Amino acid sequence: MAARTLNDDRPEDTIATDDGIRADLARLLQERLLRESMLGVWVHPILIAVVLALAWPDAPHDLLLGWGGARSRAGASTSRRGVRSSQSSHPHSR
């Protein structure tokens, strides 16, 4: 009997053999990932503000404002993408 190996793309395949259990596990893992990643989305702007405040006296202000703006836009697009994907994967979202 061949040893099971962890498949990073579909970890639920390593754990469960039944298709129904595998689908439930995949859904639960996706929900957990989205729920836990939201913390990073909300903390991101705070970290940007801290970096800007610490670097403000020493770095060119135009550079800092550009960097802060770019990071904020990237964070906003990430949070929108996370909200969209969580709504589309939720069976009661529509």
* Tens of pLDDT, residues 7-22: 556 665 666 667 788 7
Query: If we measure between CA atoms, which residue out of 82, 54, 84, 79 comes closest to residue 67?
Result: 54
Q: Which residues contact 43 (CB under 8 A, 6 or more apart)?
A: none
pLDDT at 30: 86
pTM (two decimals)? 0.49
Give Cα 62 to chain centroid, integer Å: 29
- From residue 8, alpha-carbon distances to 59, 61, 87 in Å are 41, 42, 24
* Tens of pLDDT, residues 37-85: 777 777 888 899 999 999 999 999 999 999 999 988 887 776 666 555 5
Q: Are 64 and 55 in contact (CB under 8 A)?
A: yes
- Domain segments of the chain as ranges: 32-89
